[in-house]
Amino acid sequence: MIEAPAPSESIIYSQATPDDLPMVQALLRENGLPSEDAGEHLEHFILAKEGDVLVATAGVELLGSAGLLRSVCVARNCRNRGVAGELCRRMEASAFSAGVRHLYLLTTSAEEYFKRRGYRVCSRESLPAGVKGTAEFRSLCPASALSMVRDLDGDEQSTILTYQS
């Protein structure tokens, strides 16, 4: 018998607190994403939990009008329920509110996923200095990681903000 996925309404989204750090790092490690510097940026992480269990994370590093979307990670048994989509929507709206207009990310495995979310591939050379200065760019992500960017000042972002308020 195939077990139906639990409804997404059972998932609660919240801002990370320092107590969450060990489980955030464990989830990132289990899924092959950099975790070493998560503690430094935890105040800008949103978590998805089902009961007490952490099922997904997403974070942003704020770098003026640029931002780095990072640590978008969903536990394997919770995928394809729209959790990453919801986390990305929340992160994009939050980054926009904080003044970010160009949201960058680095990925080795989710290019197609982020293309569907409006991101486009950009060259590593074109990244702003702030992004090039992050630990993710300098040492934690492999040099083969693709750089992608989404411009947040389009109409769609206003819709997201309206939807969130």
Ligand X SMILES: CC(C)(COP(=O)(O)OP(=O)(O)OC[C@H]1O[C@@H](n2cnc3c(N)ncnc32)[C@H](O)[C@@H]1OP(=O)(O)O)[C@@H](O)C(=O)NCCC(=O)NCCS
Q: What residue has token string 């919801």?
A: 86
From the CB of 121, what's the least distance to ligand X, in Å?
14
- 54: contact with ligand X by CB under 6 A: no
- 25: contact with ligand X by CB under 6 A: no
- 110: contact with ligand X by CB under 6 A: yes
Q: Is 101 exposed, middle or buried (0-12, 13-18, 19+ CB in 10 A)?
A: middle
Question: Applying CB under 6 A, which of residues 10, 17, 109, 164 lies at the interface with ligand X?
Answer: 109
- 74: contact with ligand X by CB under 6 A: yes
Contacts of residue 139, Cβ cutoff 8 Å, sequence gap at least 6 = none
CB of 108 or CB of 164, closer to ligand X: 108
CA distance 121 to 109: 13
- 31: contact with ligand X by CB under 6 A: yes
Torsion of CA 50, 52, 57, 63, to 10 degrees: 130
Residues that bind ligand X (CB under 6 A): 31, 33, 70, 72-74, 79-85, 105, 107, 109-110, 112-113
